């Protein structure tokens, strides 16, 4: 799957004959799974039809700040467009549009959206050779590069004027592959297969009752979603949770009991590069489970329990080069117990949670962790959102991949 899959691209088209290549850019991006929103200047409409681009992008092409529909005037919100995009591409970027971008002349929707964009911006100049090499134009290009935009340089060759020289817009395949390379570089976990467990497990007593715990799965889902957005191929093995949203590239396997989680983990393990075991697996299960609901009248004097299999320790014994990260939820002497778990379960690292910390652990949107890697000093973090904690853990994992 291309790294452009599910990326949201704002494509600004300005008035240049090179706009005839834009349908190919849109087609390639859409084929790779990107969502493309085309913005056109008035001048661009003379070179390529909005109908062609809206048909290929499957979205209405936007050309002005407002437009009429049956309910009256609609505002095309340039701020929202700028924030929506994962990347903006201005192709072709005419001399006029380059100048407006460099000077912040927000007199059309393309420029206003560019000025609002927080994402990386790529621009592909296209114009005749003398315009291209004019010092004023060169200065505008330099300004845009200094402002952090990514230049896709014009190439040399035959120009529409009949002249030969520098000023041709780069070919659509090259432009798309440049975008791909950019996102690949930003996807440090690309090519890695990561298995993450989340949520509680439920151990049945009878068809309606179970032994479980308060885990919401939020930490595991945050890890899975972040790992997918960093380019990893993610399998999430999740116990019963509700309300957690999932990145479209995460393959989620739902399980209920510790034994089902164990079987699912063992099935995936040999194909996996790293495991992050954030599930709160039940440590005990009833020895006997009845098929019929236990009636209140019949009474229940005692519930005999047996330990579940320690999934992480099982994987620790079986591992052949996979990196194993466990969680340790402790109420006292957190570092001492976590160090013991690290050794006993043959782990590469442990994420330590202390029940003594406010805002950490089950149910919260925040967590406070320490990261303890084998033979390393622990790294202590302040209270953060679970999304930020997921980033911290995956940064460590990325370093561990590179150290291996
Ligand atoms: N774990 C597991 N299988 C179990 C129990 C726990 O894989 N049957 C994993 C958890 O997902 C976590 C790690 O082991 O990554 C540590 O879990 P924790 O509950 O902190 O510790 P335990 O090993 O269960 O020990 P204790 O409850 O005595 O602290």
pLDDT score for 66: 80
The reported pLDDT for the residue numbered 233 is 93
| Ligand 1 binding pocket mutation candidate from 327, 331, 343 (most atoms within 8 A of CB) | 327
Nearest alpha carbon, ligand 1 atom 18: 328
Same domain, 203 and 179: no
Task: Report the SS3 class of residue 284.
Answer: strand
| 295 and 330 belong to one structural domain | yes
Question: Does 1 map to a domain?
Answer: no
Long-range pairs for 79-83: beta carbons < 8 A, 24 or more residues apart: 79/116, 81/10, 81/37, 81/39, 81/109, 81/113, 81/116, 81/117, 82/10, 82/113, 82/114, 82/115, 82/116, 82/117, 82/118, 82/119, 83/116, 83/117, 83/118
Residue 2 lies in a domain: no
Quick: pLDDT tens for 205-250.
999 999 999 999 999 999 999 999 898 999 999 999 999 999 888 9
Same domain? 30 vs 128 = yes
Nearest residue CA, atom 17 of ligand 1? 328
Atom of ligand 1 nearest to the CA of 326: 15
According to the 3-state scheme, what is the secondary structure of 340-369?
HHHHHCCCCEEEEEECCCCCCCCCCCEECE
Strands (E), 169-224: 193-198, 203-204, 210-211
Give 233 Cα–ligand 1 centroid separation in angstroms. 25
The answer to whether 353 and 368 are in contact (CB under 8 A) is yes
Q: Which of the following is catalytic: 76, 77, 137, 213?
A: 213
**Any atom of ligand 1 within 6 Å of the Cβ of 265:** no
- Asked whether residue 215 falls in the same domain as residue 142, the answer is no
Say if residue 161 is in the same domain as residue 240.
Answer: no
Domain boundary among 186, 207, 228: 186
Residue nearest to atom 20 of ligand 1 (CA): 328
Q: What is the pLDDT of residue 137?
A: 97
Give catalytic status of residue 398 as yes or no: no
Among 103, 106, 102, smallest CA distance to 144 is for 102
For position 81, which CATH number holds? 3.40.50.1950
Terminal Cα distance for the chain, rounded: 26
Q: In CATH, what number is assigned to the domain containing residue 203?
A: 3.40.50.10300
Whether residue 127 sits in one domain with residue 199: no
Q: What does DSSP say about strands 349-354 and 369-373: parallel, antiparallel, or unpaired?
A: antiparallel
Q: How far is the CA of 328 from the centre of ligand 1 (A)?
A: 7
Q: Ligand 1: which atom is nearest the Cα of residue 341? A: 23
Q: 281, 305, 346: which to mutate for ligand 1, most atoms within 8 A of CB? A: 281
Q: Which of 186, 213, 235 is the last residue of a domain?
A: 186
Output the six-digit token pair for 118. 């927080």
Residues 308 and 231 occupy one common structural domain = yes
* Interval 93-118: pLDDT, tens: 999 999 999 999 999 999 999 999 99
> How far, in Å, CA of 302 to CA of 314, rounded?
30
Which residue among 186, 215, 249 closes a domain? 186
* Cα-to-centroid distance, 279 and ligand 1 (Å): 8
Contact 109, 37 (CB under 8 A): no
Asked whether residue 211 falls in the same domain as residue 70, the answer is no
In a domain, 78, yes or no: yes
| Same domain flag for 163 and 61 | yes
Neighbour count for residue 186 (Cβ, 10 Å): 15
* CA 310 to ligand 1 center in whole angstroms: 7
Tell me, yes or no, whether 107 and 243 share the same domain. Answer: no
Backbone angles phi, psi at 155, to 5 degrees: -105, 175
Q: Classify the C-alpha dihedral 83-383-362-223 as positive or negative.
A: positive
pLDDT at position 153: 96
Nearest-atom number in ligand 1 for the CA of 309 is 8
pLDDT digits (tens, 9 = 90+) for 55-64: 999 999 999 8
| Pocket of ligand 1 contains residue 279 by CB under 6 Å | yes
In a domain, 314, yes or no: yes
Mutate to test the pocket of ligand 1, among 278, 316, 326 (most ligand atoms within 8 A of CB): 326
What is the structure's pLDDT at 165?
Answer: 85
Identify which of 119, 103, 148 has the alpha carbon closest to the alpha carbon of residue 34.
119
Asked whether residue 393 is domain-assigned, the answer is: yes
Task: Give the integer Cα–Cα distance in Å for 341 and 356.
Answer: 19
- How many angstroms is it from 292 CA to the middle of ligand 1? 30
| Substitution site in 283, 325, 346 for ligand 1 pocket (most atoms within 8 Å of beta carbon) | 283
Ligand 1 touching residue 312 (CB < 6 A)? yes
State the closest ligand 1 atom to the C-alpha of 337, by its place in the atom list counted from 1. Answer: 29
Residue located nearest, by CA, to atom 3 of ligand 1: 310
> What is the pLDDT at residue 362?
73
Number of domains making up the chain: 2
Q: Is residue 3 part of a domain?
A: no
Q: How far is CA 298 from the centre of its chain?
A: 53
Low-confidence ranges of the chain (pLDDT < 50): none
Assess whether the C-beta atom of 195 lies below 6 angstroms from ligand 1: no
> Residue 402 has what pLDDT?
86
**pLDDT for position 47:** 96
Query: Using CA atoms, how far apart are residues 59 and 248, in angstroms rounded to an integer?
Result: 21
Q: What is the largest CA-CA distance in the chain?
A: 96
Does residue 275 have its Cβ closer than 6 Å to ligand 1? no
State the residue range of the domain holding 276: 193-403
Structure confidence at residue 361 (pLDDT)? 67
């Amino acid at each position: 799957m291309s790294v452009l899959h599910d990326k949201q691209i704002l494509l600004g088209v300005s008035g240049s004959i090179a706009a005839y290549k834009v349908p190919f850019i849109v087609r390639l991006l859409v084929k790779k799974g990107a969502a493309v929103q085309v913005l056109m200047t008035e001048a661009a409409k003379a070179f390529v039809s909005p109908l062609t681009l809206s048909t290929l992008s499957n979205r209405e092409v936007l050309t002005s700040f407002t437009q009429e529909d049956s309910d009256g005037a609609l505002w095309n919100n340039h701020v929202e467009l700028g924030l929506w995009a994962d990347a903006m591409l201005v192709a072709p970027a005419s001399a006029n549009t380059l100048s407006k971008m460099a000077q912040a002349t927000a007199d059309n929707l393309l420029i206003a959206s560019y000025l609002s964009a927080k994402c990386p911006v790529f621009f592909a100049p296209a114009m005749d050779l003398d315009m291209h090499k004019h010092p004023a134009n060169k200065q505008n290009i330099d300004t845009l590069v200094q402002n952090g935009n990514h230049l896709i340089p014009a190439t040399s060759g035959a120009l529409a004027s009949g002249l030969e020289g520098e000023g041709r817009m780069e070919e659509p395949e090259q432009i798309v592959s440049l975008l791909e390379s950019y996102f690949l570089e930003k996807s440090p976990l690309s090519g890695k297969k990561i298995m993450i467990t989340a949520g509680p497990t439920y151990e049945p007593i009878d068809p309606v009752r179970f032994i479980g715990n308060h885990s919401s799965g939020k930490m595991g889902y945050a890890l899975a979603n972040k790992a997918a957005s960093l380019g990893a191929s993610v399998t999430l093995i999740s116990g019963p949770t509700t309300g957690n949203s999932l990145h479209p590239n995460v393959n989620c396997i739902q399980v209920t009991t510790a034994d089902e989680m164990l079987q699912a983990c063992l099935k995936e393990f040999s194909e996996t590069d790293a495991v992050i075991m954030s599930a709160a697996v039940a440590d005990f299960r009833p020895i006997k489970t009845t098929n019929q609901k236990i009636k209140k009248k019949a009474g229940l004097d005692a519930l005999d329990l047996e330990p579940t299999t320690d999934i992480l320790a099982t994987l620790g014994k079986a591992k052949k080069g996979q990196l194993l990260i466990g969680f340790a939820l402790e109420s006292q002497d957190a570092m001492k117990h976590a160090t013991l778990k690290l050794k006993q379960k043959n782990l590469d690292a442990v994420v330590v949670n202390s029940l003594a910390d406010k805002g950490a652990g089950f149910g919260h949107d925040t967590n406070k962790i320490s990261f303890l890697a084998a033979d390393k000093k622990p790294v202590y973090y302040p209270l953060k959102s679970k999304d930020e904690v997921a980033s911290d853990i995956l940064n460590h994992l990325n370093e561990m991949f590179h150290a291996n």
